[in-house]
Amino acid sequence: MNERKKIAFIINPISGTQNKALIVKQIDELLDKERFELEIIYTEYAGHATEIAAQKASEGYFAVAAVGGDGTINEIARSLVHTSTALAIIPCGSGNGLARHLQIPMDVKGALQVINGEKCDLIDYGKINDIPFFCTCGVGFDAFVSMKFSQAGKRGPLTYLEKMLQESLRYKPETYELEMDGISSHYQAFVIAVGNASQYGNNAYITPHASLSDGLLDVTILEPFNMLEAPSLAFQLFNRSIDQNSHVKSFRCRSLRILRKAPGLVHFDGDPVMADKVVEVRILPKELHVIVPLQVKKTMLGPNVFQRAQDYINGFKQINDAIMEDIMQTNRKFIDKSKEQIKKLTNKSSQESDK
């Protein structure tokens, strides 16, 4: 009888909203015990998952499974690159961008069936200022919203949407100099997103044609736009056609250098961090083993995707309504003030004529 392969399941107890005790029960019931020896470990602090994964990789574990979101996946995967230990994913986060790109089921049972299948692929990963990322990174508005989201008291896509809508009117685009594989250009941009995978999460495809195994970064530059154009941008984000928008420029490169006027925020897999004026991004090809589905389906747009797009459109409609209301209130004040001035002038003119 062959020796069973060891898998450590690292659980982030505060990610997502799912019942972790129920997940542990499903793991115990559904993992193929004839082939795998399992271990359950809960993280206790930020960075703990990185330490655990590094230890398990040094001990020759077949896989380390991330039970959490893209942040937990990032912590674990950064210790598994350049090793023979594979990353497995049971998605339990707010966006689950990497899992969705890999077509790993969003339910625990389906994700465990993928792990039982034992199929491994080698994928690329990126670094932004030497910080590993596996899904997306970037500068601009998405990094700013990531910071606001991290400060929010609750998680989830609705909270992210709320923060995005609240801040979109106040955020000012910046001018950046970009050097891509040695070629330099200047852009005024609302967002500069760099994708190893195709999406932020929740099927929001910011770099819709990105591949995890082509050795290239996909870059999406969103130039300034007005709020009346926001609904169509939101829709295109969800139907994988944002690269067709006239305000979007798309590129592929192996390395990217972003120069800005001052230090500021960047994000890696949705986590914000302060960085210098110069931001360096590069790709490292085929350095991470990942357990993937035995078969993948051709990507189709399901009704849930269109529903999320409609939710975004409705949110932007609320912003447009608020803008129009502000304009109307401003106009009312202007008209009222004008009436007062006209009345004063009329009275003054009448008084002078009486004299």
Q: Give the model's pLDDT for residue 143.
A: 75
Q: What is the pLDDT of residue 19?
A: 81
Long-range Cβ contacts of 152-157 (<8 Å, 24+ apart)? 155/15, 155/16, 155/17, 155/94, 156/17, 156/94, 157/94, 157/95, 157/201, 157/202, 157/308
CATH code of 132-285, in short, is 2.60.200.40
What is the spatial distance between Cα 87 and Cα 70, in angstroms, rounded to a whole number? 12
Q: Which two tokens stand for residue 235?
A: 């829709």
Dist. CA 152–CA 147, nearest whole Å:
9
Question: Would you state the pLDDT for residue 230?
Answer: 78
Supply the pLDDT for residue 315.
47
Q: What pLDDT is recorded for position 178?
A: 96
**pLDDT tens digits, residue range 291-349?**
999 987 765 444 454 554 444 444 444 444 544 454 455 455 545 555 565 455 545 54
pLDDT tens, residue by residue, 184-212 = 999 999 999 999 999 988 888 999 999 99
Residue 284 CB-density burial (10 A; 0-12 exposed, 13-18 middle, 19+ buried): middle
Positions of the chain with pLDDT lower than 50, given as ranges = 149, 151-152, 156, 158-160, 163, 300-303, 305, 308-320, 322-324, 326-327, 330, 334, 342, 346, 349-350, 353
For residue 166, what pLDDT is reported? 55
CATH architecture, domain defined by 5-118: 3-Layer(aba) Sandwich (3.40)
- Whether residue 205 contacts residue 240, with contact meaning beta carbons closer than 8 Å, is answered with yes
pLDDT confidence of residue 329:
55
**CA–CA gap between residue 104 and residue 347 (Å, rounded):** 76
Contact 292, 210 (CB under 8 A): no
CB under 8 Å to 17, separation ≥6 — which residues?
A: 155, 156
Q: Is 0.85 topped by the overall pTM?
A: no
Domain ranges of the chain: 5-118, 132-285
Half-sphere exposure of 93 (CA within 13 A, CB side): 26
pLDDT of residue 161: 53
